[in-house]
Amino acid sequence: MAKLSRDEIKERTLKIIYNCVPELNGIPLDESSVVNTDMAMDSMNFILVICKIEAEFDVKIPNRQWNRLKTLGQLIDAIEKYSK
């Protein structure tokens, strides 16, 4: 896969989040949005989002990193860091 811009990663990540957590549709999220608080995402939704992100971007985010991903921006950082 060609290297994606940060904006492309953000757009695709938001699409995954909105699909996994439909209650968020219509709510604007930015890189400072907190995953569990602002996104009303429980642990099961978070795992689903991570799995879909890993498939979408062909990336493996180590499990030990998951609890460090507090904001959308940090999630995008991890995608950039672990992309092949």
Residue 43: give its domain's CATH number.
1.10.1200.10
- Contacts (Cβ under 8 Å, ≥6 apart) of 9: 57, 76, 79, 80
| Measured distance CA(79)–CA(57) in Å, rounded | 7
What is the tally of structural domains in the chain?
1
Residue 10: inside a domain: yes
With beta carbons less than 8 A apart as the criterion, state whether 72 and 35 touch. Answer: yes
Give pLDDT, residue 19: 95
Residue ranges making up the domain that contains 70: 6-82
Residue 1: inside a domain: no
Residue 31: inside a domain: yes
Residue 41: inside a domain: yes
Query: Which of the two residues, 35 and 5, has the higher pLDDT score?
Result: 5
Confidence of residue 37 (pLDDT cuts 50, 70, 90): confident
